[in-house]
Amino acid sequence: MMMADMARILVALSGGVDSAAAAALLTEQGHEVVAAYMKNWVNDENIPGECPWERDIEDALGVCRKLGIEFRVVDLIEQYRSRVVNYLIEGYRNGSTPNPDVLCNREMKFGVLLDYALEQGFEGVATGHYANRLDVEGDGSYILRGADVNKDQSYFLALMRPEQVAKAVFPVGQITKPQVREIARRFGLPNAEKKDSQGICFIGQVKMSDFLRHYLPDNPGDIVGLDGKVLGRHDGLHLFTMGQRHGHHVASPREGVAYVVVGKDLEHNRLILGYEGQDTPGLYARSAVVGSVTNTLHPLPERVMAQPRYRAAAVHATCTPLDAQRVRLDFDEPVRALALGQVCAFYAPDDRRGERLLGGGFFEKIES
């Protein structure tokens, strides 16, 4: 996002190349830039996996030295545990499929960190998200999809509140990932070739199964088919998600057709498997109820494009309000593998490829 006037901006510098390029661009544009590393997690509980926070801080500091900008480390470990980690653990404990990355943006980057920035006299918080902000006079600020269709991260911003969107800055939203790396090379940034992180938000290269096992004990139960026949055993329903094809270790008797997860029977602790196909009960949804809807400047329109997961395509749906924060979605075409607790992002259906983000919420009820 380009800003018309010079501003004092706090950049959330993660140690990765995207936020580093964001800081470089803002500095080049003449803004007063200060960088802050959010210290959210240090893995002092020895969960298997790599928590690279020390290296990330070193990389972030190297970027700031190269750009000649101030660097701060902001300790948010306590807030991250209470706002994100506990949500993640309790979600899986209750049989839902939480998304910590989406909540991290609302509660941490544009929550606790934004509050800190405003208290320190900054006018906004910048990140390396591939997204854009659109300010409409008399109508407020909206988030738009990033220009790089392969890296667009607007989905992860779906739960942000309007007042948070108004203070968000996305310097790399109008460019592509290759261009970001080229910018990092042009500025001589030390992390120009650093690989993208694939781990849990701010936790690092920790397998979700290992993370969950540290907090949730295995709870073995039966794996059954749609007819109730026992097919095997599982270690815990929280280790599986809807539509999952692998990891259940049950071989299908049908050649070339694998079993997929189509349901969880929480009452009897049973994992339910079925075959791929729109006629498989539980695998495809025709409607759903989404609750705790946020980010909307106005009531959602009758027609929306709904995106149920990060890499899933947005689909057209009829949107019916149920109350102030709950809507019913009736999809034009059945949608595969929806899961309770997943985040659904809403986009406007009347612009190019559904670019304008209208809001988001959590799946509360799913109907086949």
Q: Cα–Cα distances in Å, from 346 out to 145, 314, 327? A: 12, 8, 11
Let me know if 319 is a catalytic residue: no
Q: Is 19 left (phi over 0), alpha (psi -120 to 50) or beta?
A: alpha
Q: Cα–Cα distances in Å, from 199 out to 17, 50, 202? A: 16, 9, 8
- 3-state DSSP call for residue 274? strand
SS3 content of the chain, % helix, strand, coil (to 5): 25, 30, 40
Structure tokens at 256: 């070339």
**CA neighbor of 103 nearest in space, from 90, 84, 79, 130:** 84
Place of tokens 């309770």: 340
CA distance 62 to 56: 10
136 forms beta bridges with: 140
**CA neighbor of 170 nearest in space, from 137, 111, 124, 225:** 124
The DSSP code sequence of 117-158 is HHHTT-SEEE---SEEEEEETTTEEEEEE-S-TTT--GGGGT
Among residues 51, 64, 104, 319, the one annotated as catalytic is 104
User: Whole-angstrom distance between the N-terminal and C-terminal Cα of the chain?
Assistant: 41
Output the furthest CA–CA distance in the chain (Å, rounded). 67
Q: Cα–Cα distances in Å, from 327 out to 150, 221, 223, 319, 359? A: 29, 34, 33, 6, 12
Query: How many Cα atoms occupy the beta-carbon half-sphere of 67 within 13 Å?
Result: 36
Let me know if 64 is a catalytic residue: no
Entry field: residues in the chain: 368
The residues that are catalytic are 104, 201
